[in-house]
Copies of this chain bind each other. A is one copy, B any other.
């Protein structure tokens, strides 16, 4: 964050106006911040395609806690890969359904494999993996 560059960008005025409106609607108060976010997003997406990049991933799972042995199975899977699981969050959505968010860290390939195993477990109704990074260097 310390060493800041100031660059000039040439943009057609009509295009710039539309961009300013878009980022205004999204809540940006600072155009440079919007550019930096676009850049970081591209870098993270590209890096996450390489299996050996160390990434942080959050897995969102929705499941019915009445399914027999399901919580036990999910917990067991996490313990087998405990060094990849940083933390978890649990929310009781309604009488039947739980939402669990797991924060994983590791090589992109390992994070993906674990997310797929959790999502494919019987009784898990929906699951999604979001990949980000530790933020270092961005």
Contact = CB atoms under 8 A, between A and B. Distances in A.
Contacts of A67: 1
A69 to B, nearest CB: 14
Interface residues of A, number: 82
B41 A126 contact: yes
Interface of A: 1-16, 18-19, 22-23, 25-44, 46, 49, 56, 58, 60, 62-64, 66-67, 86-89, 91, 93-94, 96-97, 99, 101, 103, 105, 116-117, 119-122, 124-128, 130, 132-138
A33 B91 contact: no
Q: How many copies of this protein are present in the complex?
A: 4
A36 B126 CA distance: 10
Contact of A120 (B33, B127, B128): B33
B120 A26 contact: yes
Contact of A6 (B4, B10, B124): B10
A137 B7 contact: no
